[in-house]
Amino acid sequence: MKRQRVAVIFGGRSGEHEVSVVSARSVMAALDPERWESVPFGVTRGGAWLTPEETARLLNAGGPSFPGHGTLLTSPAALAALGRCDAAFPLVHGTYGEDGTMQGFLELAGLPYAGAGVAASAIGMDKALMKALFREAGIRVPRYAVLRSWETGEGDDRANRYVEEILGYPCFVKPANGGSSVGITRVDSREDLAGAFAAAFAYDDKAVVEEAIAGQEIECSVLGNEYLEASVPGEVVPDRAFYDYDSKYSATSRTQLHIPARLAPAAAEEVRALAVRMFQVMGGEGYARVDFLVRDGHEVVANEVNTIPGFTSISMYPKLWEASGLPYRDLLTRILELAFARHERRAAR
């Protein structure tokens, strides 16, 4: 069987650049060499696309990020190399990669690609749109409010009063578009709000303010196109007040993972069913990690869907499938097979 060339695209302009590079290294090392040939495409912090040769040199040098400025349109050699690939595995976390923009480009290029499509990716990145969609579908979500940067001007107390009337404290302020807990702040009093808004608006013009729910942090992996499957749920026990960036990625983090999650069987089955339902509501295909909060051991509250979760071999998404009987290498092959199947189904229309 001839090996198929897989463009592994990573890096990018978001605050999750380094996480994306780590995910890509892991995926390329684990892809079945008898089925797939990994072709690396680094995207610099400034938006320029690097050729596979340039990317490989930087990876071999061991750097955690790719410097440089430009745009996709100023990267003709990288585009030509991409055109010689059979499929793409986008691993650019956050904006300009996970938000539908990368997926739209790959659709225009006619290249099969792993993961969710344009609409599901855009919804999955925008927490405000996602929560509104889930609420419309009758799925329980935390109480929340949405504010734009121009609604929280200095000396204007209306935003503070609005948050207090709708939610109260404690609450969380998050950039509407983003991931890996970048720009998220726990707010315990009015004095914390100004700094929390500043942190969120450093990444997006829109912020989601959400009630703090005391409960277990539960994650579930989903996989499939027309027919979705859910993994066993896992539980995250952060080593601090909430599961922030350092708690997720710091070498000194003492965050604990419990796989399977410490849930009663009925709650675990509800999590699995709801994970599938949430991804279906978004129109999702391919794969995603779905996050929940479980209050008092039984009340399952939908948090969010991550359409390009962390993908190292120790990340929660593949670990949950490993515990469900699907090893990492086979999981990657399954994801690429789903990409080709979706592409062929659409091409037949």
Q: What is the DSSP string of 179-245?
A: -TTTT-EEE-SGGGHHHHHHHHHTT-SEEEEEE---SEEEEEEEEESSS-EE---EEEE-SSSS--H
Cβ atoms of residues 284 and 116 within 8 Å: yes
Establish whether the linkage from the previous residue to 260 is cis, with ω within 30° of 0.
Answer: yes
For 124, half-sphere exposure in the C-beta direction (CA atoms, 13 angstrom radius) is 36
pLDDT at 240: 53
pLDDT at 242: 55
pLDDT at 215: 94
pLDDT at 222: 98
Cβ neighbour number for residue 60 with a 10 Å cutoff:
8
Cβ neighbour number for residue 304 with a 10 Å cutoff:
22
pLDDT at 1: 66
pLDDT at 309: 94
pLDDT profile of the chain (349 residues), mean per 10: 92 87 95 97 93 94 75 87 97 91 96 97 95 96 93 76 90 83 86 91 91 95 97 87 50 79 97 98 97 95 95 90 97 98 89
202 is written with which tokens? 């450093």
Question: Which domains does the chain possess?
Answer: 4-113 (3.40.50.20), 123-139+214-345 (3.30.470.20), 144-211 (3.30.1490.20)
3-state DSSP assignment of residue 140: coil
pLDDT at 180: 54
**Predicted TM-score of the model (pTM):** 0.90
Cβ atoms of residues 33 and 1 within 8 Å: no
Cβ atoms of residues 272 and 289 within 8 Å: no
Query: For the chain, what is the total number of helices (H) and then of strands (E)?
Result: 12, 13
